[in-house]
């Protein structure tokens, strides 16, 4: 990845007008020194999205989305970081910096990469020329319904099997490294791709970095791909992304197919958001990039067994990378079709209608994985599902709301609890054999009240035993006091956001965020003296409760020490 001088990035950040950048997408209104509006990253009825022109920073107190102008272009518009830098620099009238003076080792590595890329580019030109000279290959593409326009757009070619002859003087080891030729066990060097239609694989910038070859006959394997090399990392790239990126970014939706022909057919018929993994299962790197560009990813898989296994693998991987503001769905085509054949036989309108009526959400796919082949009437099966669900949900790292929703969903299906960590017994689980016959224990304290004190202690940074001294009648007022402190104590946006993010308990965080949203507009207009006055007034109101005056005074002292 290109590195930019920090001073250059700081200059862009200082000159960027984040309000002007966000205003076309969010209706913002003035709220003190900041601006407020409905968050574009999640559905809401009351505004919780704030933009600070002084700090050049945005934050949503509802879903937690936050960042600078760079983050906005990356998370909202799907730019890569270098693209975001270039866009903001151009908008601010700042010239891009000269590259740092490379070392001799850098120059050597760059020259090596340029040389290898030139070999692949030359092969791409040769393959396209050989397609024009091959009636057999053209007839094959015609039978598959590919138009000349689509073939040109995707750079489709044909490998006749005489590629080595077109590289006189080139070291064979270089051709081997980029996968254009292979060495047999007897030492003979031959073309890797022979008598195959060639699909050039481009990186996101549109540079050809490898190939996929499809036989025009019955030879096996049906598809061959370029091997990994210094210029080709198949786990990072997506077939068709260079052509699909703009439309995916515009509509915030992407379609993932299994094969190259699926992608070409969808684009040819007018669906320009289709991409495919490169001959292997989709990877987390590929999914992370798609979710940067899109809010919704649709997996359109073949209806056969292999397609369903691929969909299941993708669903499990989605759990690891998806965020709460993103969604995924899965479409299984009829057994006799893949996306290529379906859209050719029925047209784009029928394809769109089928997607709309047959797409199942991520939750449904996960449920299908967990319950497949299991009789839910058997306690053993329900227990097994609970264990597997616990382990599966533990892989969700960026979507706590989805994690809890899926947990509740699975619990409703199997009618039993799902542990929050693998190996932990559910709160509703029955005693085990080890528990039978053990010495009777006194009844446990009211955990709901104990949990409340524990959570409130983490929020206020006071000890639970101190909070237990607060009379029940004052708990709500004391909690409101702490929430008010988080809402008003920091004058600038990023500090308020950081205060909320300090709370690690999701349920408690939601409560505090709601309190912040409720007071944000009012407190944005308060100065430091007014903030102190308001907090003092709340404390005084608590102290006026004569019945509990002594305990309130003690609590007030503890709170003052904490803040």
> What's the CATH number where 33 sits?
3.90.580.10
The verdict on residue 234 lying in a domain is: no
Residues 510 and 539 in one domain: yes
- What would the pLDDT profile of 273-298 be if each residue is shown by its tens digit? 999 998 778 999 999 999 988 989 99
Q: Which residues contact 141 (CB under 8 A, 6 or more apart)?
A: 151, 156, 197
Pick from 92, 120, 144: which residue ends a domain? 92
Residues 301 and 254 in one domain: yes
pLDDT of residue 34: 85
Q: Residue 485 and residue 57: Cα distance in Å, rounded?
A: 22
Residues 455 and 382 in one domain: no
Residues 117 and 80 in one domain: no
What sign for the dihedral angle of Cα 318, 320, 323, 324? positive
* Cross-strand pairs, 208: 202
Q: Residue 285 and residue 341: Cα distance in Å, rounded?
A: 29
Residues 221 and 245 in one domain: no
Among candidate residues 156, 132, 155, 126, the one with its CA nearest the CA of residue 144: 156
Q: Measure the CA angle with vertex 15, ends 56 and 39; round to 5°.
A: 30
In which domain, by residue range, is 519 found? 447-562
The verdict on residue 453 lying in a domain is: yes
The verdict on residue 510 lying in a domain is: yes
The two three-digit tokens of residue 524, written as one number: 């944005």
pLDDT of residue 30: 86
Residues 37 and 85 in one domain: yes
pLDDT of residue 83: 87
Residues 116 and 88 in one domain: no
Q: What is the pLDDT along the chain (563 residues), one digit of tens a residue?
A: 456 887 788 888 878 889 989 988 999 988 877 889 998 888 788 888 989 887 788 988 877 788 889 999 988 888 888 888 988 888 878 888 776 667 788 788 888 999 999 999 999 999 999 999 999 999 999 999 999 999 999 999 999 988 999 999 899 999 999 999 998 888 888 999 999 999 999 998 889 999 999 999 888 888 999 999 999 999 999 999 999 998 998 898 999 999 999 999 999 999 999 999 987 789 999 999 999 889 899 999 888 888 889 999 999 999 999 988 899 999 999 988 999 999 999 999 999 999 999 999 999 999 999 999 999 989 899 999 999 999 999 999 888 889 989 999 999 898 877 876 433 333 344 444 333 333 333 333 333 445 545 555 555 555 555 555 555 545 555 555 555 555 444 444 555 565 556 555 555 556 556 555 555 544 444 444 554 555 555 445 444 444 444 555 555 555 444 44
pLDDT of residue 144: 93
pLDDT of residue 478: 57
Q: Residue 554 and residue 97: Cα distance in Å, rounded?
A: 59
DSSP state at residue 157? E
The verdict on residue 326 lying in a domain is: yes
The verdict on residue 103 lying in a domain is: no
The verdict on residue 230 lying in a domain is: no
The verdict on residue 104 lying in a domain is: no
Residues 208 and 246 in one domain: no
Residues 250 and 324 in one domain: yes
pLDDT of residue 542: 44
pLDDT of residue 303: 80
Owner of token pair 């990378």 = 321
- CA 68 from chain centre, in angstroms, equals 18
pLDDT of residue 512: 58
Ramachandran bin of 64, using left for φ above 0, alpha for ψ from -120 to 50, beta for the remaining angles: left
The two three-digit tokens of residue 64, written as one number: 């937690």
Residues 284 and 333 in one domain: yes
Evaluate whether 100 touches 176 at the Cβ level (below 8 Å): no
pLDDT of residue 204: 87
Q: Residue 42 and residue 326: Cα distance in Å, rounded?
A: 9
A 10 A CB-CB count for 337 gives 17
- What would the pLDDT profile of 348-361 be if each residue is shown by its tens digit? 999 999 999 999 99
> What's the CATH number where 277 sits?
3.40.1360.10
Q: Residue 261 and residue 265: Cα distance in Å, rounded?
A: 6
Residues 217 and 127 in one domain: yes
A 10 A CB-CB count for 219 gives 11
pTM for the complete prediction?
A: 0.67
> What's the CATH number where 164 sits?
3.90.980.10
The verdict on residue 293 lying in a domain is: yes
Evaluate whether 497 touches 491 at the Cβ level (below 8 Å): no
Residues 390 and 306 in one domain: no
pLDDT of residue 436: 36
Q: What's the number of domains the chain is made of?
A: 5
């Amino acid at each position: 990845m290109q590195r930019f001088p920090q001073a250059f990035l700081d200059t862009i950040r200082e000159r960027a007008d984040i309000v002007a950048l966000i205003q076309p997408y969010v209706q913002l209104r003035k709220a003190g020194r900041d601006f407020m509006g409905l968050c574009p990253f999640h559905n809401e009825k009351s505004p919780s999205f704030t933009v600070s022109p002084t700090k050049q920073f945005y934050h949503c107190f509802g879903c937690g989305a936050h960042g600078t102008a760079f983050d906005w272009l990356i998370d909202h518009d799907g730019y890569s970081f270098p693209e975001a830098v270039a866009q903001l620099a151009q908008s601010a009238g700042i010239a891009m910096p000269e590259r740092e003076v490379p070392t001799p080792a850098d120059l050597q590595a760059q020259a090596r990469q340029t040389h290898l890329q030139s070999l692949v580019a030359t092969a791409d030109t040769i393959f396209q020329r050989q397609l024009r000279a091959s009636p057999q290959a053209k007839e094959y593409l015609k039978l598959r319904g590919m138009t000349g326009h689509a073939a040109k757009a995707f750079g489709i070619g044909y490998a006749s099997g005489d590629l080595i002859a077109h590289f006189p003087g080139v070291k064979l080891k270089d051709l081997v490294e980029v996968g254009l030729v292979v060495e047999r066990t007897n030492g003979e060097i031959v073309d890797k791709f022979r008598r195959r239609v060639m699909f050039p694989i481009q990186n996101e910038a549109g540079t050809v970095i490898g190939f996929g070859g499809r036989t025009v006959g019955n030879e096996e394997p049906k598809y061959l791909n370029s091997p990994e090399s210094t210029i080709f990392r198949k786990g990072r790239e997506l077939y068709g992304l260079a052509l699909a990126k703009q439309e995916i970014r515009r509509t915030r939706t992407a379609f993932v197919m299994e094969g190259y022909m699926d992608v070409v057919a969808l684009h040819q018929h007018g669906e320009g958001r289709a991409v495919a993994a490169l001959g292997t299962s989709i990877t987390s790197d590929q999914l992370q990039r798609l979710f940067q560009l899109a809010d919704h990813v649709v997996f359109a898989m073949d209806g056969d067994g292999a397609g369903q296994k691929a969909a299941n693998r993708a669903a499990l991987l989605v759990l690891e990378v998806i965020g709460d503001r993103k969604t995924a769905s899965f479409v299984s085509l009829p057994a006799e079709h893949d996306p290529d054949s379906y859209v050719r036989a029925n047209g784009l309108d029928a394809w769109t209608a089928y997607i709309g009526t047959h797409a199942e959400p991520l939750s449904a796919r996960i449920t299908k994985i967990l319950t497949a082949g299991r009789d839910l009437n058997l306690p053993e099966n329900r227990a097994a599902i609970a264990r597997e669900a616990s382990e599966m949900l533990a892989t969700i790292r960026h979507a706590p709301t989805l994690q809890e929703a899926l947990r509740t969903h699975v619990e409703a299906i199997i009618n039993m609890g799902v542990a929050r960590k693998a190996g932990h017994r559910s709160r509703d689980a029955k005693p085990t054999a080890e528990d039978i016959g053990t010495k009777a224990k006194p009844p446990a304290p009211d955990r709901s009240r104990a949990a409340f004190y524990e959570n409130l202690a983490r929020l206020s940074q006071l000890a639970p035993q101190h909070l237990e001294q607060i009379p029940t009648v004052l708990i709500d007022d004391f909690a409101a006091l702490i929430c008010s402190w988080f809402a008003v104590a920091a004058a600038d946006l990023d500090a308020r956001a950081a205060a909320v993010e300090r709370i690690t308990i999701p349920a408690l965080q939601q409560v505090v965020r709601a309190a912040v949203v409720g007071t944000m507009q009012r407190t944005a207009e308060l100065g430091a003296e007014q903030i102190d006055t308001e907090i003092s007034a709340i404390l005084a109101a608590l102290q006026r409760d004569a019945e509990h005056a002594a305990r309130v005074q003690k609590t007030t002292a503890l709170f003052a020490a904490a803040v």
